[in-house]
Amino acid sequence: MSMHPIAHAATRPDHPAVIMTGSGQQITYGEMEAESNRFAHLLRARGIKQGDAFAVLLENRIEYFTIIWGSQRAGTMLVPISSRLTAPEAAYIIRDAQASLLITSGYFTEILGDIRKECPGLEVLMMDSGDAEDFAAALAAQPTTPIPDQRAGMVMLYSSGTTGRPKGIRPAPPEDPDPMAPVPLLGLATMGAGMPADGTMVYLSPAPLYHAAPIGWCSIVHRLGGTVVMMEKFDPEEALKAIERYKVTDSQWVPTHFVRFLKLDPAVRTRYDLSSHMRALHAAAPCPVPIKREMIEWWGPIVNEYYAGSEMIGMTLVKSEHWLAKPGTVGIAVHGKVHVCGPEGEELPAGQDGLIFFENVNLPTYHNDPAKTAEAMHPSGWMTLGDIGHLDSDGFLFLTDRKSHMIISGGVNIYPQEIENLLVTHPKVMDAAVIGAPCPDLGEKVVAVVQPKDMADAGPGLEAELRDFLSASLSKIKMPKLFDFRPELPREANGKLYKRELRDEYAAKAKETAA
């Protein structure tokens, strides 16, 4: 049986491909097939050939899938842009990727003028514009038959720029250019994560589609003939409602979602029937051990975790039962081989923390940035995402933190993840970020930026309570020197924390004080 929406449209045209939880809008495999063909024609009509790039700046909406699957037959490079970016950041990506077309919606009117100024000659198609640039009208003018030169497309994601200019991750070209050819993630989905290939899957996607995991897994669900149930935006109770209402079997999360679930009133949490839910995948950041343990107690041993990156250089996977035996692990390699190396590139023994590299046949490059590509490479040809961790004697990987987040205070290496993981387990804390801020005596001082569950609690009382709570497990050197309470942290909807914004803010403050 062929694993592709083209095949499912032929055999089950009326099966729902996508359902939006907020609006209730739906699209069937038959409709998605017709629209995707139209979009492939539209790309060609705009002069976008195989290998050419076009950009997409959209909120979570049903048309995104027409664009994904249209590009997957036109052999083009789809460049998703984060809806959180400013006009200069979005314009930088459009220029860097050499995208000649931008597809967007009225949601982005505020920044669109500036994007156009910075990208002269950029063609724009806009959803719901009702004028000459209207996306639906341009699409409707095209035929629903396949284009003559069908070919598998690619997606170029840009790193979220948490440490500087966003970088395009240029994937290795598909091994087989046939759009219907299987992709590596398929085997990992069915054999590794246990996703069903019989078309019965109902998959809940709570995160923005412009990220690696949602776009990757939703595409896999469509290859497997399942239904994607997509949230316009994440809300913990709405997510539970959706699992009950659509009898969701599979889902994908980040630790921030779990934290939000567990901060719900227990009466709300237990109100919904989650019995259809068979597999819950999570990734994107290390999950605090107590949080994950509580999720397994509540949802059952259906919580599977993986560690990978937008770069797709490799992947580890761990099911609940192995995690319970080795709390905190992100599992063993299921794609690529893991190497943990010291500062000189030497391989480290089990139990010793170092930089994590993946050895793999096909590795990506950073678009227009050979220096960044070289920096990520090991002399042996392996690649790193910049994470620090260790392997245990059984080959299970444990993550410590990202190298770029490390704080050096008084000559001691401090990993913020450990402190953040403790803070979010406190009942009065909703979210926390720990950063290093410039300090004349120590080089850097540890700062905890905390979002209380209730902002009314912010103040010296809560600070004393948190210091007391942390001192049970943290050495003095790791204890935050400063607590900064805020109503919200700069977090991406996929759970990624923009630490750079916080660090820049503190660096600027330190400069002012020094001046």
Angle at 148 between CA 143 and CA 152, to 5 degrees: 105
Domain boundary among 292, 311, 328: 328
- What secondary structure does DSSP assign to 193-244, as a single string? S---SSS--EEEE-S-TTSHHHHHHHHHHHHTT-EEEE-SS--HHHHHHHHH
Amino acid identity, position 176: D
Q: How far apart are the first and last CA of the chain?
A: 69
Domain membership flag for residue 348 = yes
20 occurs within a structural domain: no
Shared domain for 437 and 504, answered yes or no, is yes
* Shared-domain flag, residues 38 and 173: yes
Look up residue 310 and give its amino acid.
S
Closest by alpha carbon to 45, among 136, 143, 155?
143
The answer to whether residue 515 sits within a structural domain is no
Same domain? For 136 and 94 the reply is yes
The pLDDT assigned to 310 comes to: 86
Q: How many angstroms separate the CA atoms of 453 and 375, rounded?
A: 40
Is 381 contained in some domain? yes
Same domain, 445 and 501: yes
Instruction: Say what the pLDDT of residue 163 is.
Output: 52
- Total domains in the chain come to 4
Q: Can you read off the two tokens belonging to residue 4?
A: 């592709």
- Identify whether residues 314 and 379 lie together within a single domain: no
pLDDT given at position 112: 97
d(CA 287, CA 212): 18
Structure tokens at 478: 């790791």
Residue 99 pLDDT: 98
Indicate if 161 and 114 belong to the same structural domain. yes
Same domain, yes or no: 121 and 31: yes
| Domain-ending residue, one of 177, 200, 223 | 177
Element (H, E) at 63: helix 63-74
CATH number at residue 167: 3.40.50.12780
Q: What is the pLDDT of residue 94?
A: 98
Give residue 85's region: left, alpha or beta (phi > 0; psi -120 to 50): beta
**What DSSP character marks residue 302?**
T
Query: Across-strand partners of 78?
Result: 54, 155
Residue in 79, 83, 114, 128 with CA at minimum distance from that of residue 100: 79
The answer to whether position 75 is within a domain reads: yes
Q: Which domain holds residue 411?
A: 406-510
How high is the pLDDT of residue 512? 87
Ramachandran angles phi, psi of 135, nearest 5°: -65, -50
* Residue 17 forms part of a structural domain: no
Verify that 381 and 495 share a domain, yes or no. Answer: no
Q: Is the dihedral of CA 362, 364, 368, 374 positive or negative?
A: negative
Give the residue among 315, 484, 311, 332 at the shortest CA–CA distance from 385. Answer: 311
Do residues 92 and 170 share a domain?
yes
CA distances to 130, 203, 238, 264 from 269, rounded to whole Å, are 42, 20, 11, 6
Same domain, 123 and 204: no
CATH code of residue 397: 2.30.38.10
CATH classification at residue 425: 3.30.300.30
- For the beta sheet containing 443-452, the strands, ordered from the edge strand earlier in sequence to the opposite edge, are 429-439, 443-452, 482-485
**240 and 314 together in one domain:** yes
The answer to the question of residue 290 being in a domain is yes
pLDDT in tens, the chain (515 residues): 579 999 999 999 999 999 999 999 999 999 999 999 999 999 999 999 999 999 999 999 999 999 999 999 999 999 999 998 889 999 999 999 999 999 999 999 999 999 999 999 999 999 999 999 999 999 999 999 999 999 999 999 998 655 567 889 998 888 888 999 988 888 889 988 899 999 999 999 999 999 999 999 999 999 999 999 999 999 999 999 999 999 999 999 999 999 999 999 999 999 999 999 999 999 977 789 999 999 999 999 999 999 998 888 999 999 999 999 999 999 999 999 999 999 999 999 999 999 999 999 889 999 999 999 999 999 999 999 999 999 999 999 999 998 888 999 988 889 999 999 999 999 999 999 999 999 988 899 999 999 999 999 999 999 999 999 999 999 898 999 999 999 999 988 777 788 888 999 999 998 888 87
Q: So what's the pLDDT on residue 160?
A: 63
Do the domain assignments include residue 387?
yes
DSSP state at residue 439: E
Give the integer Cα–Cα distance in Å for 406 and 482.
17
Q: Residue 161: what pLDDT? A: 55
Domain's final residue, options 328, 350, 380: 328
